[in-house]
Structure 1
Amino acid sequence: MADFLQRLDTSKLVLVGTGLSFAVSAFEAPKYNLPIFLFGIYAQENPDGVQSLQTFTYLLSASVIYDIIWMYNYDQHWFFKLLTILLLVLKFPTILTFMSSLQQRGSGVGFRGSDLSGATVWAMPGGFTSGGRDGYQTVDESADAQTPKPLGTTIQVPSSQPHAPGAYQTV
């Protein structure tokens, strides 16, 4: 089964799903399938998008349940019902192929056990992260270790003009 999944092309699966969902979107059919598969095209083509692949896999998995509920509640023309069922059947190998692709990239589908603290997507403003940025002093760094001063700060400049001790001059 794993060998079969590895031979499937994720881009072709997503393109066929996008085409089928586009074909039925103008009629009485689930409207959420087209945006999900369009996002799948983006997620599949993004080389660094492990999080996008995970999101697409979650959305596609949830849409299977919504498809079953939708088909139970709405009556369709037989041809469009057939296309909707084909789309539902196509979702299973697509989900399994993307899960296999995520495992090959070193990331599975899930939250890595109870570790939710993975890599941060954002940084605190003002450089309050451990790496520092743009010349800002980090929390871990002492004030003496900071070499460049950000623009617009005040520094003590010796001058020949008389002034009060400890006075600052803007640069």
Structure 2
Amino acid sequence: MADFVQGLDPSKLVLAEIALTFTIAAFSSPAYNLPIFLFGLYAQENTEAVLSLQAFSALVGASVIADIIWLSRNSQNWFVKLVSILILVLKLPTFVAFASALRSRGGQFSGLGGLGTDNLSGPTLWSMPGGFTSSGGRDGYQTVDDPEPATARPPAPPVSHAPPAAPGGYQGV
């Protein structure tokens, strides 16, 4: 089973589902599938966005339930129903392939509730300008939480532009 999952190509699965979804877009079909799969194409291409992979995996999983409800409530011609069922069947290997890609990029799928944001002390999605973050430095900047480095020099004494004082209690002009 692990070899089968490793052999799946997420981008080809998403492209096939985009083509199938676009084929039935002119008919009465679920309107949410095309945007979900287009987002999946973005999530697969963006190699640094682990949160996008988590969100896409959750959307594919939730859309399976929505597809089942949509198929039971709508009666359409045989072609649209056949393609909709094919898209529904392809969502399972898509979910598995993207979950595998998520693990290979260092992320994990923590369930549908919260999309991995239930850990508030975890990594943030954004950082303050200048690299001041609470989770780690960026571009050589020191983070706010870190102590001063051991090699820090004391500040230089202020430079005075006034003439030196005369010896004794008198000032010369």
**If you compute each CA radius of gyration, which structure gives the higher value, 1 or 2?**
2
Q: CA deviation at 1:139?
A: 7.7
SS at match of 1:106: coil
Matched, 1:117 2:108: no
Q: TM-score w.r.t. structure 1 length?
A: 0.72
How many matched pairs? 151
Q: CA deviation at 1:47?
A: 1.2
CA contact (8 A) 1:20 1:83 kept: yes
Which residue matches 2:44? 44
Q: CA deviation at 1:140?
A: 7.1
In 2, Cα distance between equivalents of 1:86 and 1:140 = 53
In 1, Cα distance between equivalents of 2:79 and 2:138 = 60
Deviations 1:47-78 (A, max 9, x none): 11111111110001100000001111111101
SS at match of 2:48: coil
Q: CA deviation at 1:121?
A: 1.7
Which residue matches 1:88? 88
In 2, Cα distance between equivalents of 1:32 and 1:79 = 19
The letter of the residue matching 1:79 is: F
Structure 2 gap segments, 5+ residues each: 163-173
**Percent of pairs identical after alignment?**
51
Between the two structures, name the one with larger relative contact order (CA 8 Å, sep ≥ 6): 2
Which residue matches 2:171? none
Q: TM-score w.r.t. structure 2 length?
A: 0.72
Aligned pair in 2 of structure 1 residues 140, 11: CA closer, same or farther (>3 Å)?
closer
In 2, Cα distance between equivalents of 1:30 and 1:113 = 28
Aligned pair in 2 of structure 1 residues 123, 47: CA closer, same or farther (>3 Å)?
closer
Deviations 1:69-90 (A, max 9, x none): 1111111101110000000000
In 2, Cα distance between equivalents of 1:6 and 1:132 = 33
